[in-house]
Amino acid sequence: CAQPPRPASGAADHWSGRLALQIEDASAQSFSAGFELQGSPDAGALTLFNPLGNIIAELQWTPGRAILNNGGEQRQSASLQTLVQALTGSELPIAALFGWLKGEPVQAAGWQADLSALDKGRLTATRHQPAPQAVLRVILSL
């Protein structure tokens, strides 16, 4: 399968680039930001940036504990998914995303990933269920 790009700085696993989540017929919930993702599904961090390069929010997690910091206040939760939903307005399959970015066709309920352009730093995943359909597009800075 496609040879995944080498992680940006050779650290464990570390990717950066831009991601966009488009929700069909509800573009108000759509979301797009610059990002840095590092670590693993068990322990890692996701940092989001606005177009001018300022940090919007930082999400960090370890087993059983996740912390969302948006510069003004900090939220903690036992569930990473709860804070991902709070941050992006939608359920993002973070665990699967780590696998997809490494070129592994990981299964995520309701999602279908296209890894064919990963060598060009592009990943697209479509959520068929639950409705409404959503398309996650990731562009890696190689």
Partner 1 sequence: DGLKSLENFMKTAHSGRADFTQIVTAPPKDGQAQRPKQSSGSFAFQRPGRFKFVYQKPFEQTIVADGQTLWLYDVDLNQVTQRAQAQALGSTPAALLASAPDMAALRADYALEAAPEQDGLQWVQATPKARDGQLKSVRVGFEGDKLAALDILDSFGQRSQIRFTGMQLNPALPAGSFQFKPPAGADLLKP
Give the x-and-dash track for 55-94 against partner 1 (CB under 8 A): xx-x----------x-xxx---------------------
Where are the alpha helices (H) located in the chain, listed in sequence order? 80-88, 94-101
User: Which of residues 74 and 79 has its CB atom nearest to partner 1 in the complex?
Assistant: 74
**Site residues for partner 1, window 111-130 (CB under 8 A)?**
none
- 44 and 61 Cβ atoms separated by less than 8 Å: yes
Of 13, 36, 9, 10, nearest to 104 by C-alpha is 13
Establish if 53 lies at the interface with partner 1 (CB under 8 A).
Answer: yes
User: Which of residues 110 and 121 has its CB atom nearest to partner 1 in the complex?
Assistant: 121
Least distance from partner 1 to the Cβ atom of residue 8, Å:
9
Tokens for 37? 């993702």
Look at residue 33 and give its three-state secondary structure.
strand
Of 93, 96, 104, nearest to 4 by C-alpha is 104
Residues that bind partner 1 (CB under 8 A): 9, 18, 20, 22, 27-32, 36, 45, 47, 50-56, 58, 69, 71-73, 137, 139, 141
